Amino acid sequence: MCWTPGQMGTDGNETADKSARQGSLHPFTGPERAIGVCAKFAWEVIGDWTRRKHEEYWQSIQEQRQGNGFLKRPSAKRARDVPNCSRNQPRIMMGLLSGHYFLKGHLFKLALAGSLG
């Protein structure tokens, strides 16, 4: 059934109405129906999940004990500060975190320092 007199008798509209009536008789099939959620809330949930997974991964790493000793957990603030550092500071930070900086223990391993004491 068409809703306006101008749609009466138009083959496309009649066919669409007939298909809509037939479709409404069948139960809904498809993905779950969406529930409206505020975008800000969704981003907060996703961000919390991401931070939690990143922290779990950070704690599970066994190879980076030097870095884990300096940094107990990942920090978004520290990550944002890195691009604002001078050119030399990221190199020093990575050297300290990886244990490959000119510290006495590393120099001893390379046989460039006499003793650790």
Tell whether 31 is covered by a domain: no
Q: Is 49 contained in some domain? A: yes
Q: Which domain holds residue 68?
A: 39-109
CA end-to-end span of the chain, whole Å? Answer: 94
Would residue 72 count as lying in a domain? yes
Cα distance between residue 99 and residue 95, in whole Å: 6
The total of structural domains in the chain comes to: 1
pLDDT band per the 50, 70, 90 thresholds, residue 6: low
For the chain, give the mean pLDDT: 76
> pTM score, two decimals?
0.42
| 3 state SS for the chain | CCCCHHHCCCHHHHHHHHHHHHHHCCCCCCCCCCCCCCHHHHHHHHHHHHHHHHHHHHHHCCCCHHHHHHCCCCCHHHHHHHHHCCCHHHHHHHHHHHCCCCCHHHHHHCCCCCCCC
Give domain status of residue 19, yes or no. no
Residue 55 falls inside a structural domain: yes
- 29 falls within a domain: no
Percent of the chain residues past pLDDT 70, beyond the cut:
72
Residue 5 resides in a domain: no
Residue-wise pLDDT tens digits, 64-110: 776 767 777 777 787 788 788 888 887 777 777 776 666 666 667 77
